[in-house]
C-alpha cells in the first residue's frame, strides 16, 4: 500500500472538482445573483486542499494496484461529497 501515491491522486481529483465548480461560479457571475462570494470561497478551498495534497505527497512512481484504485475511488466520492455542497453550506457563514 502506497499512501503517498493515493494522496497525490486525491489532490489531482480535488483540483478537477474545483475546476468543475467554476461552471456554477460563471453562472452566478452572469446572472449576478449575489452568491459569487460563496462560490469563490468554495472553489478556493477545494483547489487549495487539492494543491496541498498534490504538492506535499508528490511522487514520481504513481502506479497503483487494484486495491489502491478502490481506495482512490471511495476517497474521491467522500471528498466530492464534502466539497461540492460547500457553497450551499457556506451561505450561512457568509451572508449576502
Q: How far apart are the first and last CA of the chain?
A: 46
Q: Are 84 and 22 in contact (CB under 8 A)?
A: no
Q: What is the pTM of this model?
A: 0.85
Q: With respect to residue 73, please indicate whether it lies within any of the assigned structural domains.
A: yes
Q: With respect to residue 68, please indicate whether it lies within any of the assigned structural domains.
A: yes
Q: With respect to residue 95, please indicate whether it lies within any of the assigned structural domains.
A: no
Q: With respect to residue 26, please indicate whether it lies within any of the assigned structural domains.
A: yes
For the stretch 58-93, pLDDT in tens is 988 888 899 999 999 999 999 888 887 777 666 666
Could you give the CA distance from residue 33 to residue 1 in angstroms, rounded to a whole number? Answer: 46
Q: With respect to residue 32, please indicate whether it lies within any of the assigned structural domains.
A: yes
The C-alpha cell at 88 is: 450551499
| pLDDT for res 23 | 93
Q: Which domain holds residue 31?
A: 3-90
CA atoms within 13 A on the CB side of 50: 20
How many domains, in total, are found in the chain? 1
Q: With respect to residue 96, please indicate whether it lies within any of the assigned structural domains.
A: no
Amino acid at each position: 500500500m502506497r499512501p503517498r501515491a493515493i494522496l497525490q491522486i486525491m489532490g489531482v481529483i480535488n483540483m478537477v472538482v474545483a475546476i468543475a465548480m467554476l461552471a456554477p461560479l460563471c453562472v452566478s457571475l452572469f446572472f449576478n445573483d449575489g452568491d459569487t462570494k460563496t462560490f469563490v470561497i468554495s472553489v478556493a478551498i477545494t483547489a487549495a486542499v487539492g494543491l496541498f495534497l498534490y504538492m506535499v505527497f508528490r511522487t514520481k512512481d504513481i502506479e497503483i494496484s487494484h486495491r489502491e484504485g478502490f481506495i482512490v475511488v471511495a476517497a474521491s466520492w467522500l471528498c466530492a461529497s464534502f466539497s461540492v455542497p460547500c457553497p450551499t453550506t457556506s451561505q450561512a457563514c457568509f451572508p449576502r
